[in-house]
Structure 1
Amino acid sequence: MGDQGFVCRGCGRRHEGLPFSYGAQAPAYWRDEFGSDERSLLEDETCIIQAEYYFVRARLVIPVIDADVDFDWGVWVSLSRDNFRRTLDLWATPGREQEPPYFGWLSTQLPAYPMDTLNLKTEVHTDRVGTRPHVILEPTDHPLAVEQRTGITMERVQEIAELILHSRA
């Protein structure tokens, strides 16, 4: 694919490298005050809020149709208590990728979409040990679901990069 740098339409400067992955550090529902709540826990791959809401970190993969690499959103997905426990029970179990998918709600607000991305219906697919689960969205007309089904172009990857680079400024 050659040089992945790009001239940003947001600031006019050249940025080295074009990121193909962005992720959220916590579910959208996490608040700093939960850090002192003994019923709440935020770890790298799992989150519990007030012993009532359960989340796992996952990958929402979008094919890039004019590149040899996929685009990845690092997202959080809510699971039922039973499915969360099952996920933890199988965490280090070889063959866990044979597990049927779990229902979940997307629990990450992604900045690159004109519509809210919270609470989109998902299937959470367990992958092999050492790999985060991946999420497949319900096939709706939401722009994120459409992109997951049909793919995006390198131009869209750059657009997302420009948006995220300048939303953090």
Structure 2
Amino acid sequence: MNCTAEAPAAWDPAFADADDRLLSADQYVVRGQHCFVKGLIEIPVIGSDEVFSWGGWVSLSRESFSLPSDLWERPGRETEEPYFGRLTTDLPVYPRTTLSLKTHVHTRPVGERPYVELEPSDHLLAIEQRTGISLGRVRDRASTVLHAGDGEQR
């Protein structure tokens, strides 16, 4: 149960041919300065052992990006301390923008996307991550995302 963003909000198709950019399924660097990593914002589903995940991009400082990049394929990388970042994926199902929410990125074992922990705030996404959502809410979120481009009101 997940929805994902293909690129951070900062992505511009004009960057596609630039020599100083990298966009992979997990990492994005533009102009050698702006660094992003893709992770999962996991939300517990109430009354279930399941989680609903938003695949989103987080901006990291160059220093915070360098170490996990160096350890990307190294077993044991999950023992690293979390990295501070800001969410750079706008999830339009929320009434307020999710851009720039404060996060902590937790590296997981090789082959697993990082876990994105939102700092506590009054934003609905942060509240849902702390308290969980119903299966009905999961269905509503998924339906909204699936029908976003077909002319329906959101």
Match of 1:59 in 2: 40
State the alpha-carbon separation in 1 of the partners of residues 51 and 37 from structure 2.
21
Match of 1:150 in 2: 131
Match of 1:9 in 2: none
1:53-76, Cα deviation, whole Å (9 max, x unpaired): 000110000000122310000000
State the alpha-carbon separation in 2 of the partners of residues 125 and 165 from structure 1.
28
Structure 1 runs not aligned, ≥5 long: 1-19
| Larger Cα-atom Rg | 1
State the alpha-carbon separation in 2 of the partners of residues 55 and 161 from structure 1.
25
State the alpha-carbon separation in 1 of the partners of residues 117 and 143 from structure 2.
25
TM-score, normalised to structure 2's length?
0.94
Match of 1:6 in 2: none
State the alpha-carbon separation in 1 of the partners of residues 33 and 99 from structure 2.
18
- Residue type matched to 1:132 in 2? R
Q: What's the RMSD between the two structures over aligned residues?
A: 0.8
Match of 1:131 in 2: 112
Pairing of 1:23-38 with structure 2 (within 5 A) = 23-38=4-19
- Residue type matched to 1:56 in 2? V
Match of 1:45 in 2: 26
Deviation of 1:162 after TM superposition, in Å, equals 1.8
The count of corresponding residues between Structure 1 and Structure 2 is 150
Structure 2 runs not aligned, ≥5 long: none
Match of 2:52 in 1: 71
State the alpha-carbon separation in 2 of the partners of residues 130 and 162 from structure 1.
29
For the Cα contact (< 8 Å) 1:77–1:104, is it kept in 2? yes
Are 2:106 and 1:106 equivalent residues in the alignment? no
1:92-133, Cα deviation, whole Å (9 max, x unpaired): 111111100000000100121000000000000000111010
TM-score, normalised to structure 1's length?
0.86
Deviation of 1:41 after TM superposition, in Å, equals 1.6
- Residue type matched to 1:83 in 2? S
- Percent pairwise identity: 49
State the alpha-carbon separation in 1 of the partners of residues 136 and 91 from structure 2.
18
For the Cα contact (< 8 Å) 1:34–1:41, is it kept in 2? no
- Residue type matched to 1:128 in 2? P
State the alpha-carbon separation in 1 of the partners of residues 57 and 11 from structure 2.
11
